[in-house]
Chains A and B, each alone.
Chain A
């Protein structure tokens, strides 16, 4: 069964600190992996997209890594800000037929003063 598991489920950090969110997947055949940020009451916003051949991609203070061999990805947030408080969702895209996107249930991040 294609699955995407994220950890931790929730996380609280102090403003200015760094943090790393994890995503493990069993999806096959793999096409791409995406990280989205979803603020409360809003739709998800794309942070990064990585294909099989990419192992790191940055978007400002967000850096995603991908290890296609171990089927793991991480999202590192540097120098966190209060506005980083949101849910971070890992999404894996498949090639071939059937349901093309598999979503993780997200990590709820809260940044405090």
Chain B
């Protein structure tokens, strides 16, 4: 059973650019959630998509956006990049909404973004 696949694994951008990250969930999983991980803040929830609709959103500015396609693959976009956006971006898939009780999340390996 294939796991959660994130692409690209590493990328370098400059301030002001935008970036798109991709996440392919486990087959049959309908929820994809995104997280930002930095050494100082740890893991922070960005948003969750379920059946192509954003269901939950964390406390991030509107520069961070996402979408989900009919095959449950998801993309997140960060526009007008800032130095502080340098982080490991993780996605996780699950069969149900993350709010549904003790729902297991399966994480991908992450996309490491460096903003220069």
A interface list, Cβ under 8 A from B: 31-32, 34, 36, 41-46, 49-51, 89, 91, 93-95, 98-101, 103-106
Interface of B is mostly: loop
Would B102 and A45 count as touching, CB distance under 8 A? no
- A49-B104, A101-B98 given; A43·B110 CB < 8 A: yes
- Complex CA distance for A49 and B42, rounded to whole angstroms: 20
Would B43 and A103 count as touching, CB distance under 8 A? yes
Contact residue among A32, A36, A99, A104 (Cβ-Cβ distance under 8 Å from B56): A99
Interface of A is mostly: strand
7 pairs of A and B residues whose beta carbons are closest in the complex: A43-B107, A105-B42, A103-B43, A49-B102, A32-B102, A100-B99, A44-B107
* Minimal beta-carbon separation of B99 from chain A (angstroms): 5
